[in-house]
Structure 1
Amino acid sequence: MPNYGRSGRCLTCKRRRVKCDEARPACSPCRRLGLDCGGYTKDYAFRDESHRFASAATLKTLKEQGALVHRSAAAGEPSRSLLTGADVAVPFFLVHYAGMGRSLAVARGFYETLIPMYTSQPHDSPLSLAVSAVAARVFSLWRHEDAAQVEPHLAPYTQAVASLRSALERPEDRRRPATTLAVLALHLYESISAVYDARQATPVHHHGALSLLPIAALDSLDGLISTYVKGFVLHTEISSALRQKRSMHPNVYSYVNSPHTSSLVPGNFSSTLDSIGASVAELQADYVRGLSRRHASGPLLEQQCRAWITEAGQIDELLRAWARDVPDHWRPLRLTSGQDFSPSITAYRSACDIYPSCQIATLWNLWRFHRLLLLKITVGATQRISTLPRDESAGDERLVPTTMESAIQAGSIQELVDSICHSVPFYLGNRTKQSSLSDFTDPEILFPSYHLLTPGDARIAARHQDCDDAALSGDEQHRHIVAYGAWHIVSPLSNLLTLVSDDHGGRLVASCLRLGQQEWIREQFLRVSTLVRLPAAGPFGGEKGRSPPLLPVDPKSADSAAESLAKQVRKGAIFMSGP
């Protein structure tokens, strides 16, 4: 949330976490050490205000319980006798997935509100049981348990469904955000299971959350949390509509276009981006429907194509304005391999971009994906117009892009895809093996980050301001990226593979990429699939319920496996957060 208080220290001293005498124009500590004093800013900063909802003692207890995992993992893979049950799985999940690296300034609304709501509920509530099921499911993946060993998470899942049904029969419970969070937690459980079972997710929990959207409470403390929870429901429906190339659910469409939408999550850049993403989803759905109408006449189709191009340009301008408004320290910082980070970290064209957190990096990749979709629609509609029959007698003029316009579009596509590729090292570091609990304490695992740069680096002083999401310690930064960094890059990579092979203009996008880039994206997608232990699709898949085999290394086989896995991931994650 915004904090407009005085800085108290220069930017350099804040970064170094030392005292500052606030001398002007440069403070004494910086002058004494010969450092470039970053000066004093009055720009607002964002703070994680979880303490407003959950007590410090509660958060401390969760972290202490979660630390058991790291103490055990320090000596290798933790023993099954030591780490069993919800007493470890739930703290592990809440600390690493709902705690570290999260900020309300960029919150989508689920994870950021989960800890305060969970700690306020009785142990047998729908939310507590649903969180126990999700935590056990996630923890089983880290422990490499076979899918057949479902008892630890299936039991609380079944109990949570029964408890939720009872709660939904009571009008007062239907209005509570804890009930909606329980539905969303069960929805997450179903999506994870669908991805790892290589099947399409069922929409029952997603539709349940949408049905609760109009009746969620908007009063007292629950009202603030409910605001964020509503935002997450909107986000998942917009993401699902983008994946399925369909229009949004009427509840969401009316809510996004209602007069009070602008105040849904005030000052939240994720919420603002979602409101633009809703327009992208509706335009894409209209574009796909329009191209499928075989009866459309030439003039009618041309008129529609021109309308799509105009609307795509207007939405793209909104996205550009969004990018201009984000805080400066959220912008990607370009690093060079061998100079700023270890060559052991695979980077695209020897460079990578770093961000304050996975949340912020993923927000940028979502922004890039929106713009890529708009460019695909623009290029596809323009090409469709150029292929329509011309009426010479009527002086028909076609919308044919000039060489410069085509070059600008191709350059924009290349730049956006490059930026997604440059974000891959931030999420994956030098990891290449299947994830395990010992990764949290493995000193050989490296990630490019601000913490690798020297304290006096001017790039840090310019971007690394007094901001909680940018002030994670090196250990916290490492652990939150180990926990969910790989998962945050699964969707962007699978989206790219799907986009370049799409029937509606995708191959035009692929033609704009430089030689070998599409193959590099496939390689990284197969790599991240290994990290998160996705079951290999097609002839490379194992028996259901068994651990996934290693993915193929033969180039042709890898290409086929990547395409199959990308479709599999999108099928299982069709209702999950992200495009």
Structure 2
Amino acid sequence: MPGVPSGRACENCRRRRQKFKCDYAKPTCSRCAHLGVECIGSGQRRFVFIDQKCARRRVLGRKSVASVASTTSSSLQSLSACSGNDADVLINSFVEMIRPSTARRFNLAWTYGTFLEKVPQRLGSNEALDVAANALVASHRDFATRRPVTLDSLAKYSNAIKALTQSLDDPMESRSLETICAVILLTMCQNLGGLGLQHLNSHCQGAVQMLHLRQTSSPIAEFELDLHTYLQDPVLVQSLFNRSMRLAPSKFEALSRVLAINEDLPGSAILILLFRIPSLMRHGRAVLHGCANRDAFMAELSSTFITLRKAASLVYSKYMMGPSTESKHTGPYGFCLAFSCIFNCMLRGVEPNNHQLLQEAAKLV
């Protein structure tokens, strides 16, 4: 249509008319990121044709939750703004954080998992999930513009906590997948805003307990299995730093059933191996206090390190050599590299002149 502006620059770059054009990066362009200001409308056209026949999005009832769970992630591409109400604004803002065109360093689906692609279609069915998603959008906006946590983000996070508390008081909503997902979204707010490890630990513990209460003999839904898969990594990290989350072998067997860890998958096999680290740490402390045999501990540590390195090589050769690597495979491989560095440092602390360990350390770094 003649006369309709076709520019896709953000509001700041369009208003200032700088010599260098906006680079259209999402969620924030390079210039706004450099200045630390909010970037609005980057990569979006100011005027577009809208199909008037687009139906308004209906609020999902509890009876439709089961049918929504079977919808594939391809529906992410079909979401569009059909009206200007708050629900549509929230959906569009959430989709921008996980859209494939969003840069990887700001793409939450790449960082936390593709299960986030199934969240937009569930917005509107649970108040706790809606408020938690709104808080996550605000935290992500602060993170993308590289500025400290704002009062608006803190207020929305506080509202999300209140809404979650009310949902937990309801026997029906407290066990719903939407409420569990709201808890998980709050852990992401903690990560993006750096609001403290203590609350992050409590959120993850709560989510695991809620999944445990949902255990039934019926098959696990796909969305619920995605939530299980996401929680495996935070629980693993917290088992190292949170004493209440350190797991004995018997407790790990129970947790593996709750989180549906499949020992046959390479990524899950690595997680099972890494969950042995807390017991190794306890064994190491016993050696330091003279309560355990040092040689036996070193043999166990070396054996675990060798097994971990073999598992990392297997994951790399099978999943990391393709032209496009999926985020669900980079997570286990990243854990392998991180904990391989830790094991290498522990072994070099005992054998500082071991040249093989020094060479491996250089490769890992």
For normalisation by structure 2, the TM-score amounts to 0.63
**1:322 corresponds to 2:311:** yes
1:141 maps to which of 130, 140, 143: 143
Rounded Cα–Cα distance in structure 1 between residues aligned with 2:274 and 2:101: 25
What pairs up with 1:5-404 in 2 under 5 angstroms?
53-55=70-72, 58-62=75-79, 86=90, 88-95=92-99, 111-122=113-124, 124-143=126-145, 147-148=149-150, 150-151=151-152, 153-194=153-194, 201-202=198-199, 203-218=201-216, 223-242=221-240, 244=241, 248-250=245-247, 254-256=251-253, 260=257, 264-265=261-262, 268-288=265-285, 290-291=287-288, 293=289, 296=290, 300=291, 303=293, 305-326=294-315, 328=317, 330-331=319-320, 356-357=325-326, 360-381=329-350
Structure 1 residue 270, shift from structure 2 partner = 3.1
Rounded Cα–Cα distance in structure 1 between residues aligned with 2:242 and 2:163: 34
Rounded Cα–Cα distance in structure 2 between residues aligned with 1:214 and 1:251: 18
Using a 3 Å threshold, how does the CA distance of structure 1 residues 178 and 268 change in structure 2: closer, same or farther?
farther
Rounded Cα–Cα distance in structure 2 between residues aligned with 1:57 and 1:258: 31
Instruction: Give aligned pairs, total.
Output: 288
Query: Between the two proteins, what is the percent identity of the paired residues?
Result: 14
Rounded Cα–Cα distance in structure 2 between residues aligned with 1:278 and 1:138: 30
Structure 1 residue 88, shift from structure 2 partner = 4.2
Letter in 2 for 1:264: I
SS in 2 for 1:326: helix
Letter in 2 for 1:135: V
Deviations 1:276-325 (A, max 9, x none): 1111233134424643x3xx3xxx55x1x222212112222332342354
- Structure number with bigger Rg: 1
- Is the CA contact 1:231–1:271 (under 8 Å) kept in the aligned structure 2? no
Rounded Cα–Cα distance in structure 2 between residues aligned with 1:158 and 1:139: 17
- Is the CA contact 1:174–1:216 (under 8 Å) kept in the aligned structure 2? no
Using a 3 Å threshold, how does the CA distance of structure 1 residues 211 and 182 change in structure 2: closer, same or farther?
same
Rounded Cα–Cα distance in structure 2 between residues aligned with 1:181 and 1:258: 19
Structure 1 residue 262, shift from structure 2 partner = 10
**1:414 corresponds to 2:362:** yes
Rounded Cα–Cα distance in structure 2 between residues aligned with 1:313 and 1:283: 11
Cα RMSD over matched residues?
4.1
Letter in 2 for 1:415: K
Q: Which residue of the partner structure matches residue 500 of structure 1? A: none
Extract unaligned runs of 5+ from structure 1: 1-50, 66-83, 334-353, 384-402, 418-579
- Is the CA contact 1:113–1:228 (under 8 Å) kept in the aligned structure 2? yes
Letter in 1 for 2:99: V
Rounded Cα–Cα distance in structure 1 between residues aligned with 2:349 and 2:114: 39
Letter in 2 for 1:229: L
Q: Which residue of the partner structure matches residue 428 of structure 1? A: none
Using a 3 Å threshold, how does the CA distance of structure 1 residues 246 and 223 change in structure 2: closer, same or farther?
same
Extract unaligned runs of 5+ from structure 2: 1-67, 82-87
Deviations 1:344-391 (A, max 9, x none): xxxxxxxxxx972455445323212222222333333457xxxxxxxx
For normalisation by structure 1, the TM-score amounts to 0.42
Rounded Cα–Cα distance in structure 2 between residues aligned with 1:247 and 1:411: 36
Structure 1 residue 208, shift from structure 2 partner = 2.0
- Is the CA contact 1:183–1:205 (under 8 Å) kept in the aligned structure 2? yes
